[in-house]
Amino acid sequence: MAKPTQSKSSRAKPSPARTKPSPAPVPPAASTAPATGRSALLRVLREDGTLVGATDPKLPLERLTQLYETMVLVREFDRRMLVLQRQGRIGFYGPILGQEAATVGSVAAFEDRDWIFPALREGAAALMRGLPLHVAIAQLIGNDLDRCRGRQMPCHYTFREGRYHAMSSVIGTQISHAVGAAMAAKTRRDDVVIAGYLGDGATSSNDFHCGMNFAAVYKAPVVLICQNNQWAISVPLSQQSASETLAMKADAYGMPSIRVDGNDVLAVFVATRDAAARARRGEGPTFLELVTYRRLGHSSSDDPSRYRDESEVAAWEKRDPIERMRRHLESRKAWDKEREQELADRIARDVNEAVRVAETAGPVPAQTLITDVFASPTPQLEEQLRQLLDE
Ligand SMILES: Cc1ncc(C[n+]2csc(CCOP(=O)(O)OP(=O)(O)O)c2C)c(N)n1
Ligand SMILES: [Mg+2]
């Protein structure tokens, strides 16, 4: 896919004295990965799309193509939203290029009744749960079709019917929210599991300790899913944590964990499905470390060339999650160029139409500034609104 143009700010380049950190480690190919040990990764598919073997979830072909098609949609949506941002049609966007398997594979492993508490890179979960594309785009614009009515930053979709909780911007707080919801579900004997997402950077937050501890002590039915994309804005993993792996942090809380190749959609699916089943059986939480990579900037406002070496990105481009799954489907004669073209055309049509509909909406009416605050607005608020409208 075409890379969005990096913003060339007028600020001076960092001084040469500020050296870039060493590249994020690229996991070895499956054939050379250690089968055991703390750094080992769960894999189902090798880079060339062939099956490792024993770990295969043996999903029907229809389900496999569905996972693939969803990843392609997510990538194209991402690309188009960055273009809209560069054209000034939306304010801000946080891309997930390279992390499609981690989001799609994990979300797909839950039941529809399970709740999702996303962090920064799981907006696609709302689409997977049925949030219409044009409503998601309206959220990025912040217009009258936006369910948040312009009161949230872009990428903070909300979709209660799809059991998708709005993302909290404050890093790590999603963990406490997810664990709290899981403890509540357990107390109420609701048959739901909670998916709680976080990034590698969030493992340094207070909420990480608090949430992990509560989850384990209370055997909360939650799966805590860490997308280790190697970066927290400009902070590399090596400066985030001195632990050999993030998964091993769960040991200290008495919680099982597993390290997964986050660019292998089937490995992510298997690990998440097993963790969700464990939670549903009442056996408590699991921590998943999905090892992946953030190939673009932290957001549309970031220029990663200022702090990392582009050769690092190139190494991870070779481990593309979508290409891996496509190779697998092709090897099973379940995919070909014709289907790829049909899919691309369908997605282009759907996204074009969604952008068109989203952009037909007008701005959020000014009176919504005072609605949804009190059951009935106070006379002072009414007066302030009148003054505002007069001006
Ligand atoms: C408590 C807090 N501190 C700082 C920020 C600013 N901030 C936004 S995203 C981010 C990095 C998050 O990194 P990570 O958890 O690895 O998630 P990723 O962006 O890589 O998906 C930071 C520091 C914030 N939102 N909240
Ligand atoms: Mg990160």
Q: How far is the CA of 206 from the centre of ligand 1 (A)?
A: 13
Query: pLDDT value at position 13?
Result: 45
pLDDT at 109 > cutoff 90: yes
Phi, psi (deg, nearest 5) at residue 244: -65, -40
Residues 294 and 371 in one domain: no
Taking phi first (over 0 means left), then psi (-120 to 50 degrees means alpha), and beta for anything else, what does residue 233 get?
A: left
Question: Which atom of ligand 1 sits closest to the CA of residue 172?
Answer: 1
Side chain identity, residue 170: V
CB atoms within 10 A of CB 383: 11
Q: How far is the CA of 188 from the centre of ligand 2 (A)?
A: 34
The Cα–Cα gap between 359 and 5 comes to 23
Q: How far is the CA of 374 from the centre of ligand 2 (A)?
A: 38
Which chain residues have CB less than 5 Å from ligand 2, an ion?
199-200, 229, 232
Query: And the tokens for 257?
Result: 């964990």
Question: Which atom of ligand 1 sits closest to the CA of residue 119?
Answer: 21
Burial pattern 293-316, b for ≥16 Cβ within 10 A else e, equals bbbbbbbbebebeebbeeebbeeb
Residues 117 and 208 in one domain: yes
Residues with CB under 6 A from ligand 1: 120-121, 169-171, 199-202, 227, 229, 231-233, 294, 298
Q: Is the dihedral of CA 325, 291, 256, 126 positive or negative?
A: negative
Phi, psi (deg, nearest 5) at residue 11: -65, 150
* Domain CATH code at residue 59: 3.40.50.970
Query: pLDDT value at position 367?
Result: 87
Is residue 175 situated within a structural domain? yes
DSSP string of 221-232? SEEEEEEE-SEE
Residues 379 and 349 in one domain: no
Query: pLDDT value at position 372?
Result: 79
Is residue 33 situated within a structural domain? no
Residues 325 and 382 in one domain: no
pTM: 0.92
Closest-CA residue, ligand 1 atom 7, reads: 171
Query: And the tokens for 183?
Result: 């403890």
Q: What's the DSSP call for residue 297?
A: -
Query: And the tokens for 383?
Result: 């007066």
- Number of the ligand closest to the Cα of 228: 2
The model's pLDDT over 211-248, given as tens digits with 9 standing for 90+, comes to 999 999 999 999 999 999 999 999 999 999 999 999 99
Is residue 13 situated within a structural domain? no
Is residue 306 situated within a structural domain? no
Average pLDDT taken over every residue of the chain: 92
Residues 215 and 318 in one domain: yes
The model's pLDDT over 269-324, given as tens digits with 9 standing for 90+, comes to 999 999 999 999 999 999 999 999 999 999 999 999 999 998 999 999 999 999 99
Residues 119 and 225 in one domain: yes
Side chain identity, residue 142: G
Burial pattern 25-44, b for ≥16 Cβ within 10 A else e, equals eebeebeebeeeeebbbbbb
- Number of the ligand closest to the Cα of 234: 1
Is residue 182 situated within a structural domain? yes
Q: What's the DSSP call for residue 304?
A: G
pLDDT at 5 > cutoff 90: no
Residues 188 and 210 in one domain: yes
Residues 258 and 155 in one domain: yes
Q: How far is the CA of 173 from the centre of ligand 2 (A)?
A: 15
Residues 251 and 329 in one domain: yes
In total, the chain counts a number of residues equal to 391
Total domains in the fold of the chain = 2
Q: How far is the CA of 119 from the centre of ligand 2 (A)?
A: 10
Ligand 1: which of 121, 229, 233 to mutate, judged by most atoms within 8 Å of the beta carbon?
Answer: 233
Residues 348 and 371 in one domain: no
Residues 58 and 120 in one domain: yes
Going by pLDDT thresholds of 50, 70 and 90, the confidence category of residue 53 is confident
The model's pLDDT over 315-334, given as tens digits with 9 standing for 90+, comes to 999 999 999 999 999 999 99
Is residue 134 situated within a structural domain? yes
Find the domain containing 329 and state its range: 43-300+312-360
Residues carrying an active site annotation? 294, 298, 307
The model's pLDDT over 332-388, given as tens digits with 9 standing for 90+, comes to 999 999 999 999 999 999 999 999 999 999 999 988 888 878 889 999 999 999 999
Under 8 Å between Cβ of 16 and 238? no
Residues 264 and 386 in one domain: no
Burial pattern 358-374, b for ≥16 Cβ within 10 A else e, equals bbebeebeeeebbeeee
Name the packing angle between helices 206-217 and 173-187 (round to 10°): 20
Going by pLDDT thresholds of 50, 70 and 90, the confidence category of residue 32 is very low
- Number of the ligand closest to the Cα of 302: 1
Is residue 14 situated within a structural domain? no
Is residue 31 situated within a structural domain? no
Interior angle at CA 179, CA 175 and CA 184, nearest 5: 150
Query: pLDDT value at position 253?
Result: 98
The Cα–Cα gap between 298 and 96 comes to 9
